[in-house]
């Protein structure tokens, strides 16, 4: 696999590769590499930059401004001014919705350029990125644009000589810290409801995938979002991210990422101004397949649930529990299916799986695969790196996995599937819940009674029956236990950006209470 700089304003042409054939296309010019503060692109105060790299090759894509505490201070100041004295929170919800619809139009109009950027920066297959990542981003904007004028309070029927009502008011300045696995989706998963609620915000994209957030900032200004409402600080978690989490003038934080960093976010909140925190964290989700299941469907779902987005998904069902009666048929069909799975350049339309996002994640996943081998799990498929350059890993399926193995307990965040057997419903409920996580689960069965029992018994934020990754703007998404709290989709997502205020007045000489 190779890529070649053309010397034409930063454009690049993707060429032959060793992981799925040759592709040739002109990649977009990287136009935005600076911080976005108060409606303008600016250098970091320190003048520092960092490199974002192409996971296909390890080559540098661009140098990006490295924001730090001083830059966060400037961004928060701009957001504070825009909230306290600007027009965004004071606009009718219908006007905010109109601007958000125009914002969605711009995302759709530039969908091809954004798709190439996202695929380049994150190693995502181009065909999937266009439909899923960029398509979902525009859909999220439109969904919350429609919600902007539908934020209502309640009338309170008080028991004494008083009457009351509630107001749902924007929280203020929101700190939004997004992950690297779905940069575009997670940007709008947080930005869209914050905009609808009337908040202003400081967004920190992941340092591994900063490019699309800067383009989205530019489109926000074009759409008519006032200066200071959306600010984007590119940089590192321990510096820029920590500065947002601990800032005394940030009113709430929404974070998606690892459980370990989620703890740090909560600690920073407690030590600063006790700002509310919403966390969407790690997962080790079970996919439970009963012996009455359609084997072909079960195999398809397990592949999607584990290898979609090269396994870099908090929802990945990396614990696949198979009832004993279906185990052998499932394993055979799965092995056959994986023979046609293509790992390679994400710009090649024949490719199913691109590279891991960077060298660090690549090495982390390979270390988990080594753990599985040492612990005695059997490698059914994969188990090795592949390709001559870049961060490619064969999709790996382990059989004979035990519940106490590291690969069965810890989030791997890579293309690794663990197969385990069970006998009874009671046994698999206990196994499914025997984890510190509670993000998602899947159940495959034709028995409605079994399906109902499983969905009521599994402690997770979402349970899919005979499907997986069935996501929608109107479907709440968020976890339980150490997978976090708060929702990042549906009307529930507005809750974290709104404060509830009760208003009470006396009622004199009312004929009724």
Q: Which residues are catalytic?
A: 280
- Is the separation of the CB atoms in 284 and 203 below 8 Å? no
CA gap 438, 270 in Å, rounded: 24
For residue 171, give the nearest of 189, 146, 190 by alpha carbon: 190
Extended strands (E) in 171-235:
173-177, 200-204, 230-232
Which H or E run includes 5?
Answer: strand 3-5
Name the token pair of 7. 């010397």
Give the distance from CA 16 to its chain's centroid: 31
| Torsion of the alpha carbons at 134, 71, 102 and 139, rounded to the nearest 10 | 30
CA gap 465, 443 in Å, rounded: 5
385: which strand partners? 393
CA gap 458, 481 in Å, rounded: 12
- Is the separation of the CB atoms in 355 and 56 below 8 Å? yes
Residue 499 burial class via C-beta count within 10 angstroms: exposed 0-12, middle 13-18, buried 19 and up: middle
CA gap 371, 418 in Å, rounded: 12
Residue 89's SS3 state is coil
| Alpha-helical runs (H) found in 256-412 | 259-271, 295-307, 324-338, 359-374, 406-409
CA gap 243, 71 in Å, rounded: 9
Which H or E run includes 192?
Answer: helix 183-197
Give the distance from CA 188 to its chain's centroid: 10
For residue 136, give the nearest of 99, 100, 111 by alpha carbon: 111
Residue partners of 331: CB distance under 8 A and separation at least 6: 380, 399, 419
Name the token pair of 383. 């188990």
> Please, what is the Cα angle at 413 between 378 and 209, to 5 degrees?
145
For residue 141, give the nearest of 106, 114, 165 by alpha carbon: 106
CA gap 293, 290 in Å, rounded: 6
């Amino acid at each position: 696999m190779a890529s070649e700089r053309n010397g034409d304003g930063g454009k690049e042409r993707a060429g032959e590769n060793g992981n799925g054939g040759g592709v040739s296309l002109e990649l977009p010019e990287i136009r935005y590499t600076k911080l976005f503060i108060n409606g303008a692109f600016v250098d970091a105060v320190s003048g520092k930059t960092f490199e974002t790299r192409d996971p296909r090759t390890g080559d540098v894509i661009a140098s990006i401004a490295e924001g730090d505490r001083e830059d966060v201070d400037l961004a928060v100041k701009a957001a504070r001014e825009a909230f306290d004295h600007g027009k965004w929170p004071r606009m009718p919800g219908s006007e905010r919705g109109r601007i958000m619809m125009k914002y969605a139009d711009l995302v759709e109009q530039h969908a091809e350029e954004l798709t190439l950027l996202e695929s380049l920066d994150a190693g995502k297959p181009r065909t999937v990125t266009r439909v899923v990542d960029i398509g979902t981003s525009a859909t999220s904007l439109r969904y919350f644009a429609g919600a902007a004028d539908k934020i209502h309070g309640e009338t309170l029927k008080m028991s004494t000589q008083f009457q009351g009502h509630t107001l749902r008011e924007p929280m203020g300045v929101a700190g939004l810290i997004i992950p690297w696995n779905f940069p575009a989706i997670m940007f709008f998963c947080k930005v869209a409801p914050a905009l609808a609620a009337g908040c202003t915000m400081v967004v920190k994209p992941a340092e591994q995938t900063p490019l699309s957030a800067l383009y989205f900032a530019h489109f926000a200004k074009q759409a008519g979002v006032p200066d200071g409402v959306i600010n984007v600080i590119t940089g590192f978690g321990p510096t820029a991210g920590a500065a947002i989490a601990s800032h005394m003038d940030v009113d709430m934080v929404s974070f998606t990422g690892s459980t370990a960093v989620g703890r740090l976010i909560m600690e920073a909140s407690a030590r600063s101004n006790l700002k509310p925190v919403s966390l969407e964290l790690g997962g080790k989700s079970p996919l439970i397949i009963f012996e009455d299941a359609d084997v072909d469907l079960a195999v398809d779902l397990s592949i999607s649930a584990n290898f979609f987005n090269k396994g870099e998904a908090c929802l990945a069902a990396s614990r696949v529990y198979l009832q004993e009666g279906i185990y052998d048929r499932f394993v055979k069909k799965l092995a056959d299916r994986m023979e046609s799975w293509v790992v390679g350049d994400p710009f090649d339309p024949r490719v199913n799986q691109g590279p891991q996002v960077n060298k660090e994640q690549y090495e982390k996943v390979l270390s988990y695969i080594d753990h599985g081998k040492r612990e005695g799990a059997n490698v059914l498929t994969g188990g090795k790196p592949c390709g001559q350059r870049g961060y490619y890993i064969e999709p790996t399926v382990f059989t004979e996995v035990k519940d106490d193995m590291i690969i069965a307990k810890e989030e791997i965040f890579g293309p690794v599937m663990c197969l385990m057997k069970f006998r009874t419903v009671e046994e698999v409920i206990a196994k499914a819940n025997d984890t510190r996580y509670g993000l998602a689960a899947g159940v495959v069965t034709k028995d409605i009674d079994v399906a109902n029992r499983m969905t009521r018994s599994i402690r997770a934020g979402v349970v899919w029956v005979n499907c997986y990754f069935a996501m929608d703007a109107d479907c709440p998404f968020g976890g339980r236990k150490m997978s976090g709290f708060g929702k990042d989709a549906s009307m529930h997502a507005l809750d974290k950006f709104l404060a509830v205020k009760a208003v009470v007045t006396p009622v004199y000489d009312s004929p009724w209470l």
